[in-house]
Amino acid sequence: CDIMAPALFILLWAAVIPRADLLPDKKSLLLPPTNFTVQVIGLAQVLLRWEPNPDQEPKNVELGYHVRINGPQEEDYETRNTESKRVTVLHQGFSASVQTIPWNGHSLLASDWVSAELKAPPGSPGTSVVNLTCTTNTTLNNYDPLRPFQVSLYCTWLVGKDAPEDTHYSLYYRYGSSTEECQEYRKDTLKRNIACWFPRTFISSRGSDWLAVHANGSSKRATIKPFDQLFALHAIDRINPPVNVTAEIEGTCLSIQWEKPISAFPVHCFEYEVKIYNTRKNYFQTEKMTTNTFISIIDDISKYSIQVRAAVSSVCRQMGFWSEWSQPIYVGHDDQKLSTEWFLIVLMATICFLVLIFTLICKTGHLWTRLFPPVPAPKNSIKDIFVIVKNKAGEKQWAVCGR
Ligand SMILES: *[C@@H]1O[C@H](CO)[C@@H](O)[C@H](O)[C@H]1NC(C)=O
Ligand SMILES: *[C@@H]1O[C@H](CO)[C@@H](O)[C@H](O)[C@H]1NC(C)=O
Ligand SMILES: *[C@@H]1O[C@H](CO)[C@@H](O)[C@H](O)[C@H]1NC(C)=O
Ligand SMILES: *[C@@H]1O[C@H](CO)[C@@H](O)[C@H](O)[C@H]1NC(C)=O
Ligand SMILES: *[C@@H]1O[C@H](CO)[C@@H](O)[C@H](O)[C@H]1NC(C)=O
């Protein structure tokens, strides 16, 4: 027992002293992750991967990672995973760093950074496409009852200012895990591709993923620099206008109805704008609403032109563009127009009447002189009349023949 006591004391001392020594040291003990790599796994898509440092002590501390994307666009986030997928343009290269951090509020200091990067793809400056813009729209799909709607994609661009005349651009898009190359290009006068049309795509009209578009090219005279661009679907989607717009006037009530546009979004996702144009007063009235009916009291007898347009409201996704206006439909009568029409009709009738009277007068006058020629004396009247009748018959004969 006498021997045990100092031994215990020494043990305790040994246990306590190094711990007191270690405490400040421990803060630098988090080790950076190992084997950090960046890998292109798709069009404008990379996978960042790393492993926990195998020498990390103590093993029981909960660890996380702080990831920093340095370019092309700065981004900072923390995660407990050891891999992370990013959607990003890659034509300027890509660079990221990661460090080990304590999770759950340990007072440990973060580790040093480790970095990895992708070099920008080669290419002469000024050869890549510029002003790339894309739009999508939705049409009915008559072929597949399980996918009643299909999304088309249309992209246009300008030829880079230093691209040789023989540049041949190719365009690709990726949505989710589907990538497709364009098959229908439009060309400029030098036969270079400057637009592309995908009548059917894998884009989901209600999806919220980024649409990635990649344009690269080839030429005998230069290396064509590729170009990537990301598009948010809500920002490029051209909604179809509402359909079956009808309007009627009953008394002083103008009621307008329509149906939702051809779209994969359900009825409750739309908002509308109705434009009522009073042709007589040359006055526009525009109303916003979320229902499919609009009733307005009118105090004015006039002709109205009515148009409706639609947008997917923020109930269902981020607000995008308004559709085109529907074809105008017309209701009501324009009184003023009506009276000018009447005036024209009356005028025409009067002119016709006058012409008729005039012709009649002329004809009567002619007949009069024929029937009662001024020269002959009254005693030969019977003979004369006979001659005239004969003459008249002869004249008639001539008239028929002369035709
Ligand atoms: C991680 O890197 C080490 C050497 O740095 C290597 O031995 C090991 O195989 C790598 N692990 C993986 C999964 O690549
Ligand atoms: C192309 O885009 C640039 C800016 O990005 C703009 O200044 C230029 O007007 C655009 N050109 C055309 C023809 O739209
Ligand atoms: C969709 O867009 C394309 C190209 O912009 C156009 O030709 C087509 O008519 C549009 N379809 C509808 C239904 O608007
Ligand atoms: C263009 O990009 C596509 C898709 O990434 C690739 O398959 C193709 O080889 C590239 N073409 C050129 C000329 O770089
Ligand atoms: C529009 O009206 C026509 C005929 O009135 C009808 O066949 C069609 O189904 C309507 N469209 C919609 C989207 O309801």
pLDDT tens column, 245-264: 999 998 889 999 999 999 99
Question: Does residue 139 line the site of ligand 3, with CB under 6 A?
Answer: yes
In this predicted model, what pLDDT tens digit does every residue of 23-51 receive, in sequence order?
A: 444 444 789 999 999 999 999 999 999 99
Distance (Å) from CA 199 to ligand 2 centroid? 26
> pLDDT band for position 234 (50/70/90)?
very high
- Radius of gyration over alpha carbons of the chain, in Å? 44
Distance (Å) from CA 176 to ligand 4 centroid? 18
Answer whether 322's CB lies under 8 Å from 315's CB. Answer: no
Identify each DSSP E strand in 88-226 by its residue range: 94-102, 114-118, 130-140, 149-158, 168-175, 178-181, 185-187, 193-198, 210-218
Residues in the ligand 4 pocket, defined by CB under 6 Å: 43, 170, 172, 214, 216, 218
Evaluate if residue 158 carries a pLDDT over 90: yes
Q: What span, in angstroms and rounded, lies between the C-alpha atoms of 156 and 135?
A: 9
pLDDT for position 337: 55
**Substitution candidate for ligand 5 out of 244, 258, 270, 308 with most atoms within 8 A of CB:** 244
Tokens of residue 316, six digits:
């269902």
User: Could you tell me which CATH number the domain at 243-333 has?
Assistant: 2.60.40.10
Distance (Å) from CA 216 to ligand 4 centroid? 6
Tokens of residue 392, six digits:
């008249």
Distance (Å) from CA 205 to ligand 3 centroid? 15
130-236 falls under which CATH superfamily?
A: Immunoglobulins (2.60.40.10)
Secondary structure of residue 312 in the 3-state scheme? strand
Question: Does residue 82 line the site of ligand 1, with CB under 6 A?
Answer: no
**Substitution candidate for ligand 3 out of 154, 185, 203 with most atoms within 8 A of CB:** 154
- HSE-CB of 398 using CA atoms within 13 angstroms: 6
Q: Whole-number mean pLDDT of the chain? A: 83
Tokens of residue 342, six digits:
């009447």
Give the closest ligand to the alpha carbon of residue 137: 3
pLDDT for position 349: 80
Tokens of residue 283, six digits:
């006055």
This prediction has a pTM of 0.73
Give the closest ligand to the alpha carbon of residue 159: 2
Question: Does residue 152 line the site of ligand 3, with CB under 6 A?
Answer: yes
Q: What span, in angstroms and rounded, lies between the C-alpha atoms of 206 and 209?
A: 9
Q: Which atom of ligand 3 is nearest to the CA of 262?
A: 13
What is the average pLDDT across 11-32? 50
Distance (Å) from CA 179 to ligand 4 centroid? 12
Instruction: Tell me which residue has its CA closest to atom 7 in ligand 2.
Output: 131
Range 25-118 has CATH code 2.60.40.10? yes
pLDDT for position 29: 77
